[in-house]
Amino acid sequence: MKRLTDLTVDEVKYIITEIFKAKKVSNVKFHKHDDAITCTIYTEWGDDREIIKDDLTIYNPFDKNEDYIFSVDFPTNHEDVKKLRQFCYAKGVGGSMVDWLVLENPYL
């Protein structure tokens, strides 16, 4: 079974862009000891579509409570976690087989 840190940089950039609609993802670093990934993301916010820079940490979505999978300065929700779990499952990263990981999984 693969770990979160076994994903490629391109895979990480892809799923972060999918979840957060990031305009840019840079500085991707893998932290094998914690099975976590850190990066810098740039997203549009507000009516004037200002580009905001944020530091993001992602932890293995099967090892942590939903509230602790993402560490970032803006709110995340259940759908964000679901997308990450589905993506990770499709890439062979941990997790037990439950219907929602397989059924309607756009990443399989």
How many domains, in total, are found in the chain? 1
pLDDT value of position 71: 96
Provide the whole-model pTM: 0.91
Residue 85 forms part of a structural domain = yes
User: Residue 72's pLDDT is what?
Assistant: 96
Which residue positions in the chain have pLDDT lower than 70? 95-97, 99-100
Q: So what's the pLDDT on residue 94?
A: 76
54, part of any domain: yes
pLDDT of residue 61: 93
Residue 71 lies in domain: 4-102
pLDDT, one tens digit per residue, over 23-48 is 999 999 999 999 999 999 999 988 88
In DSSP notation, 21-87 reads --SEEEEEEEETTTTEEEEEEEEEETTTTEEEEEEEEEE-TTTS-GGGSEE-SS---HHHHHHHHHH
Domain contains 108: no
